[in-house]
Amino acid sequence: MALFEISEPGEAPSTLPHRRAAGIDLGTTNSLVATVMEEVAATIGDELGQHLLPSVVRYRADGSPLVGLTNQQFIHDDPLNTISSVKRFMGRGVEDIQTLANKFPYEFVHAERGMPRIKTVAGDFSPVEVSAEILKALKVRVEQTLEGPLDGVVITVPAYFDDAQRQATKDAAHLAGLKVLRFLNEPTAAAIAYGLDQGAEGIHAIYDLGGGTFDISILRFSKGVFEVLATAGDSALGGDDIDRAIAEWLLEQADIGADADHKRLQEVMYHARVAKELLTEQDSVELTIRRPDGTDWHGQMNRAEFAEQIKPIIHRTLAPCKRVLRDAGIELRDICEVVMVGGSTRIPLVREMAGKFFHCEPHVDIDPDKVVAIGAAIQADILAGNKPDNDMLLLDVIPLSLGIETMGDLVEKLIPRNTTIPVTRGQKFTTFKDGQTAMAIHVVQGERELVRDNRSLARFELQGIPPMVAGAAHIQVTFQVDADGLLSVSAKEQSTGVETGIVVKPSYGLSDGEVEKMLRDSLTHASDDVNIRRLREYQVEAERAFNVLQVALNENGEQLLSSVERARIDTALDALQSVRQGKDYLAIKKAMTVLDRVSSEFAERRMNASIHDALTGHKVNEFSE
């Protein structure tokens, strides 16, 4: 006989079983996994106690990949089969990868659609598949520690990851057999790790300088609500740039020419990374560099020389900091705390310059390499249901505006950048031509006014629109962005209810650099874009007026117009036709005003004729009942 546990009225039921959840920081250089055990969030190490898992996968002829630390020795010896920094390829198309090919020693297999595949001795693999191997390794690590399968994970992504990059990460998690509870922006995860949601009311800055990118986010905490106000960054900035600056200094000191072979340059880069790490903790470091002629250069680098080389690089982080304050609509005095995230924030000069900019001492209590994974683990523990009393609410933002293409190659933005998610926004549109029975919906992302200056995300068609005169149909287009930052779009014709939609899953997306360029261009070209948009709007309206009047003249011109009146209208049409594709919107506006004036009497006669035709054969009382 089965036994059931019954609670008395008013008595709390037994505690639910603890669910296994983890947070994963899928990084460009290193990845980590963390979990909450006995109310404490901590990263999990391997059997050797190593917590950082290098984001490197080496493929072998037998098909079995090697993941992590053991692969570092193969990066230079077996570069075609050892894939590192694959995060940079996630969500990118063929054209994007080709621009990076010179920097990565891989052979890419061209794909007609989607992300290209990387050719190895074990076969061709997509960036999603390579990332899945890293996630599998982290999954094995945490499941061995928790002694059972995971119920769910939270995976962190850069704040600037667009929809395509998030989808690629979601696909990688699916291939790895992981249930994703939430995608969490890395700066937001760091803030959770520091416990800023626990009574730390006010506005906080999250300064994230990692190996490949820099992110700065402004967050506000109030009564349990965790709100991201704005985010910005510089994708061409990180620890790799610091390494290169030190390497160039070493090449100059050792009198090694820039034409040194690839292996020699890799060795100098290795010494540069070592020097960077040692000078973070000590005042000077002794270095030995082997020259191409076989002799050795012995030298020293002190912290002052180190600071002199890297100061211009760190200074570049301040421009995005200024921009994010402007986007958030706050002043420096409003910031109550700045949190340092990313391995590069260990450098004393970084902390010094950030503290000086924000006028406060940086918060550095948690290992900057581990803080993102720990924050993700805390959030995963909550979402898995292990803390039912926790009422923390996360409100993140989208990095770039979302909109659709309208006539004239113009973009109508439905969701502006830095809008809090999840969010749903809709807008009504109409047809451009008489009898139009379908509408093509082109979804784009970016800050510019013209479609060609933004990134295309997806296209689909709304079919079955009843044939009507231009402008009569009412099509409601709705954008919905979920808590993970993933977009879905629907379109519905109001009179018939015909509807279609798409979960936007483009084959490739934006690189961090393209996002940064879009934001810079939107500011640089703001005035030009306004003028271009104004011109295009007049051009579209002129085309509409021209076409409508031509149809009307063909139908009723002979019956309703004298030869003089027709000649006057034809002259105005010719004048509009000659300027409507030009660059002078004022000339188009003037020509349209003239055309409207000389054709207004014709329009009035057409309307009267239509009313007369409608009334013919009917009695007045038929219309009054």
Supply angle C-alpha 27, 29, 30, rounded to 5: 65
Residue 516 in this model has a pLDDT that exceeds 80: no
| Cβ(280)–Cβ(317) below 8 Å | no
Which pLDDT does position 4 carry in this prediction? 42
- Could you count the other beta carbons within 10 Å of the beta carbon of residue 356? 10
Of 96, 151, 171, 186, the active-site residue reads 186
Which pLDDT does position 117 carry in this prediction? 81
Residues 532 and 502 in one domain: no
Residues 187 and 266 in one domain: no
| Cβ(566)–Cβ(557) below 8 Å | yes
Instruction: Return the SS3 of 235.
Output: coil
Residue 509 in this model has a pLDDT that exceeds 60: no
Residues 474 and 508 in one domain: yes
Which pLDDT does position 558 carry in this prediction? 79
pLDDT tens, position by position, 69-103: 655 556 566 777 888 778 877 876 655 554 433 44
Which pLDDT does position 254 carry in this prediction? 85
Residues 488 and 561 in one domain: no
Name which residue leads in pLDDT, 22 or 541.
22
Given 334, 357, 390, which residue is the final one in a domain? 390
Q: Where are the beta strands (DSSP E) in 291-437?
A: 296-302, 335-341, 393-397, 402-406, 410-415, 420-421, 423-429
- Which CATH number does the domain housing residue 564 bear? 1.20.1270.10
Of 133, 163, 208, 381, the active-site residue reads 208
Which pLDDT does position 76 carry in this prediction? 61
Residues 422 and 511 in one domain: yes
| Cβ(483)–Cβ(419) below 8 Å | no
Residues 407 and 514 in one domain: yes
Largest CA distance in the chain: 111
* Residue 186 annotated as catalytic: yes
The token pair at 478 is 């709705």
Tell me the residue range of the domain where 537 lies: 527-615
**Is residue 560 included in any domain, yes or no?**
yes
- Could you count the other beta carbons within 10 Å of the beta carbon of residue 38? 5
Which pLDDT does position 372 carry in this prediction? 92
* Residue 208 annotated as catalytic: yes
- Could you count the other beta carbons within 10 Å of the beta carbon of residue 297? 15
Examine residue 422 and say whether the peptide bond preceding it is cis (omega within 30 degrees of 0): yes
pLDDT tens, position by position, 407-458: 777 888 888 877 877 788 888 888 777 888 888 888 887 777 777 777 777 7
Which pLDDT does position 69 carry in this prediction? 61
Which pLDDT does position 512 carry in this prediction? 44
Residues 586 and 502 in one domain: no
Of 25, 234, 337, 514, the active-site residue reads 25
* Residue 87 annotated as catalytic: yes
Residues 503 and 539 in one domain: no
- The total domain count for the chain is 4
Residues 128 and 25 in one domain: yes
Confidence of residue 311 (pLDDT cuts 50, 70, 90): very high
Name which residue leads in pLDDT, 511 or 195.
195
Given 493, 521, 549, which residue is the final one in a domain? 521
**Is residue 170 included in any domain, yes or no?**
yes
In angstroms, the Cα distances linking 476 to 143, 280, 442, 469 are: 47, 57, 14, 18
Torsion (CA) 164, 64, 25, 96 in degrees, nearest 10: -30
- Which CATH number does the domain housing residue 255 bear? 3.90.640.10
Which pLDDT does position 139 carry in this prediction? 94
**Across 50-59, 554-563, 611-620, which has the greatest mean pLDDT?**
50-59
Residues 171 and 188 in one domain: yes
Mean pLDDT within 183-200 = 78
Mean pLDDT within 464-474 = 80
| Cβ(86)–Cβ(165) below 8 Å | no
Return the closest-CA partner of residue 471 out of 435, 496, 500. 435
Mean pLDDT within 22-27 = 94
Residue 44 in this model has a pLDDT that exceeds 90: yes
Mean pLDDT within 315-329 = 91
Residues 55 and 166 in one domain: yes
pLDDT tens, position by position, 219-278: 888 766 778 888 887 765 778 788 888 988 988 888 886 556 656 666 787 788 889 989
| Cβ(104)–Cβ(90) below 8 Å | no
Instruction: Return the SS3 of 279.
Output: helix
Residue 346 in this model has a pLDDT that exceeds 80: yes
Name which residue leads in pLDDT, 507 or 290.
290
Residues 181 and 309 in one domain: no
CA dist., res. 531 & res. 511, Å (int)? 28
Supply angle C-alpha 410, 233, 511, rounded to 5: 60
- Could you count the other beta carbons within 10 Å of the beta carbon of residue 319? 14
Which pLDDT does position 390 carry in this prediction? 63
| Cβ(234)–Cβ(319) below 8 Å | yes
Confidence of residue 144 (pLDDT cuts 50, 70, 90): very high
**Helices marked H in 127-207:** 127-146, 163-175, 186-193
The token pair at 398 is 């989208």
Return the closest-CA partner of residue 226 out of 202, 251, 261. 202
* Residue 381 annotated as catalytic: no
| Cβ(79)–Cβ(262) below 8 Å | no
Mean pLDDT within 537-557 = 79
pLDDT tens, position by position, 398-418: 777 888 887 777 888 888 877
Q: Could you tell me which residues are beta bridge partners of residue 288? A: 298
